[in-house]
Every structure is written in C-alpha cells, then in structure tokens.
Amino acid sequence: MSECGFADYLKSGSELSFQQLCGRITTDFNDCSRQVIDIQAALRGPEIARQDLADILQDVQAQEKQNLKMTATLQLLRKAGRPSDRAQAHAGKKVQHHLCSHGHEEESALELAESDAEYDAAYKEATQALQEARTTIHEYMEEVRYELASNSMA
C-alpha cells in the first residue's frame, strides 16, 4: 500500500494525499503494534507460559520497525533523486551558462560524481538493510509456525 501510494505521490506530487496515506498507515501500524503487545502479554501469562514465542514476537516488532525505517529512507532517497539527475533537471530548466574555467567544470563534475557515489551507497545500504529485515521477519515467523505446528501435534 505505501509503495503504490508513494509511486502515486511521485507522479502526481500531491503532498496532501501522501500525508493522508502516511497517517492511515501510521494508525494501522499502531493498531497492529497494540495487538502484538497484547499477544505477547498473553504468551507470557501463566495460562500459555510461552516466553520464547513472546520474545520472538518482540524481535519481529524490532525488525518491523527497521523495515519501516528503511522503507522511509528509500522513499526519501527516491524523492530527492540522484544528484546528477537533479542537476540535469535543473540545467534543463535554466538557460545553459558557459563556465569560464574548464577547471571549475571538472571540479563540479567530480563533486557530482562523488555525490552520486554517496547517494548510490546510501541507497544500496538501505535496500540491503530492508531486505535483511524482511528476511529476518520471515525466519522468525517460520519459527513461530514450526512451534505452533509441533505443539498442535503433541
């Protein structure tokens, strides 16, 4: 939902509708978080006494937080765009000015290349962290499924 909403925002530029979407998502995440906290409390209680499963759910929540953080980071990076793309868009809007010094042009190109490299590294790092969080969540949920299946057979 947020990826489609973000893609729509990038196309339309409608800040208000994107803020409304973010508000709805935040509310939904808060509701889910409260439900998970209730489930954790039940798992820790004397009737179920499954601290191990409660701990796994706590770990899942931490990974979900990381997932959300990296998703937001990637969206901010996408919104900003690569520095060279921004420079090209800016240059397309302005009348091209001839720089007096070729040395200044080379310096600008070098700074832009360094900025692109930093952007690419940040994007790669956030993408990798997002994938790791999602993989870890999946692994935790498989562990819960296994525990539930083994207990239902016992």
Cα separation, 19 vs 99, whole angstroms: 41
Distance CA 97, CA 19 (A): 38
Contact 111, 77 (CB under 8 A): no
Write the pLDDT tens digit of every residue in 3-49. Answer: 676 776 667 777 788 788 888 888 998 999 999 999 999 999 999 99
- Using the structure block, give the residue that is written with the tokens 């509310």: 27
pTM over 0.95: no
Please choose, from the candidates 8, 26, 29, 28, the residue with its C-alpha nearest in 3D space to the C-alpha of residue 18. Answer: 8
Contact 134, 67 (CB under 8 A): yes
Band of pLDDT at residue 154, cut at 50, 70 and 90: low
